[in-house]
């Protein structure tokens, strides 16, 4: 019996990068997965990769910042997969980057909608299903940018920091319903969002080696493995926790 056989997992931002890598890891462990993303081609491709890896997967085109779209995603996923065990709030983008006086209010609000409102919406609509099932696990993707200042990425940094306390406050409320809520803070992970085509991987990893104890860039599956652990019964006494996965970058 595989570790997540019969379990249902909702993943936002599943068309690419960390979301895709995590979806494939859940699929390898036998999960049924619902993917939400704006990118339909990428989402359908991830669903195919999940099926090939041994899981079941559906893709639902969704703008995670839109209340109605998130409600539709969660309700449709719950009815098609048969309930919700795990929610991975992961969709994201870098937001507007620049000096604070040049950051527009529209860009500030959009960044908060995609990075923070989406996580609130995912929780709001999934929690009733988890309560009905007798428990569940929620994991959200923050960033090392939420643990320290990120020059010129003011909105991103503020959003990722907001997720730390949303995680803690939800964990405090939901523990008695057997719903655990945790958060991960990736360092530099090789995904399209991290920039570049990564064609000169050797040069990138040599650069990482000068900055962090583990001398390589992270892979989506490095994050996926941590998400699987936090969603698993082995992590049954862990809630309200923030796990940094950065090759030791912030360690010293
Ligand atoms: P990515 O660009 O590969 O994947 C992000 C996905 O989110 C894309 O498929 C994109 O289409 C989707 N998305 C963006 N806005 C959306 C919206 N409004 N509705 C639905 N889907 C939307 O990037 P990634 O690196 O895999 O990023 C995943 C998460 O990890 C993000 O929250 C990001 O902030 C975080 N993160 C990434 C790194 C890194 O180095 N890659 C480091 C720290 C944190």
Tell how far the Cα of 92 is from the centroid of ligand 1, in angstroms: 4
245/228 Cα distance (integer angstroms): 13
CA diameter of the chain: 56
30/2 Cα distance (integer angstroms): 6
Residue 119 maps to a domain: yes
Closest ligand 1 atom, residue 63 Cα: 19
58/138 Cα distance (integer angstroms): 19
Confirm or reject: Cβ of 218 under 6 Å from ligand 1.
Answer: no
Which of 18, 159, 247 should be mutated for ligand 1, with most atoms under 8 A from CB? 18
CATH of the domain at 226: 3.40.50.720
Structural domain boundaries, residue 104: 8-245
- What's the confidence (pLDDT) of residue 209? 76
Q: Which of 20, 156, 226, 246 is catalytic?
A: 156
**Sequence-separated (6 or more) residues with CB below 8 Å from residue 18:** 90, 141, 186, 189, 191, 220, 223, 224
Residue 1 maps to a domain: no
Residue 54 maps to a domain: yes
- What's the confidence (pLDDT) of residue 208? 77
**Sequence-separated (6 or more) residues with CB below 8 Å from residue 247:** 187, 188, 208, 212, 213, 214, 215, 216, 217, 218
ipTM value of the model? Answer: 0.99
How many independent structural domains does the chain possess? Answer: 1
Paired strand residues for 242: 183
Residue 3 maps to a domain: no
Q: Residue 229 catalytic?
A: no
Do 160 and 186 meet the contact criterion of CB atoms below 8 Å apart? no
The 10s digit of each residue's pLDDT in 53-82 is 999 999 999 999 999 999 999 999 999 999
The 10s digit of each residue's pLDDT in 148-207 is 998 889 999 999 999 999 999 999 999 999 999 999 999 999 998 876 666 777 887 788
Helices 154-174 and 105-112 cross at an angle (nearest 10°) of 30
Closest ligand 1 atom, residue 14 Cα: 9
- What's the confidence (pLDDT) of residue 195? 63
Q: What is the 3-state secondary structure (H, E, C) of 33-69?
A: EEEEECCHHHHHHHHHHHHHCCCEEEEEECCCCCHHH
Closest ligand 1 atom, residue 65 Cα: 18
The 10s digit of each residue's pLDDT in 96-144 is 999 999 999 999 999 999 999 999 999 999 999 999 999 999 999 999 9
Tell how far the Cα of 13 is from the centroid of ligand 1, in angstroms: 6
90/36 Cα distance (integer angstroms): 10
């Amino acid at each position: 019996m595989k570790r997540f056989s019969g379990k249902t997992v909702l993943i936002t931002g599943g068309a690419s990068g960390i979301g895709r890598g995590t979806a494939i890891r859940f699929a390898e462990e036998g999960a049924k997965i619902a993917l939400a993303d704006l990118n339909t081609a990428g989402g359908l491709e991830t669903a195919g990769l999940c099926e090939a890896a041994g899981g079941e997967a559906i893709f639902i085109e969704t703008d995670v910042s839109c209340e109605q779209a998130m409600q539709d995603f969660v309700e449709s996923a719950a009815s098609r997969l048969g309930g919700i065990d795990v929610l991975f709030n992961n969709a994201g983008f870098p937001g507007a980057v620049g000096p604070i006086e040049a950051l527009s209010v529209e860009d500030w609000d959009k960044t908060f909608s995609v990075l923070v409102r989406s996580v609130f919406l995912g929780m709001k609509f999934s929690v009733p299903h988890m309560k009905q099932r007798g428990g569940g696990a929620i994991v959200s993707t923050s960033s090392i940018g939420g643990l320290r200042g990120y020059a010129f990425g003011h909105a991103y940094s503020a959003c990722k920091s907001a997720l730390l306390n949303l995680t803690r406050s939800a964990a405090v409320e939901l523990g008695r319903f057997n719903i655990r809520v945790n958060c991960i803070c990736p360092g530099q992970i090789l995904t399209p969002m991290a920039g570049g085509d990564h064609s000169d991987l050797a040069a990138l990893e040599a650069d990482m080696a000068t900055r962090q104890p583990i001398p390589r860039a992270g892979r989506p599956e490095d994050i996926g493995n941590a998400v699987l652990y936090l969603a698993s019964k082995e992590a049954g006494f862990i809630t309200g926790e923030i796990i940094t996965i950065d090759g030791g970058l912030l360690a010293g």
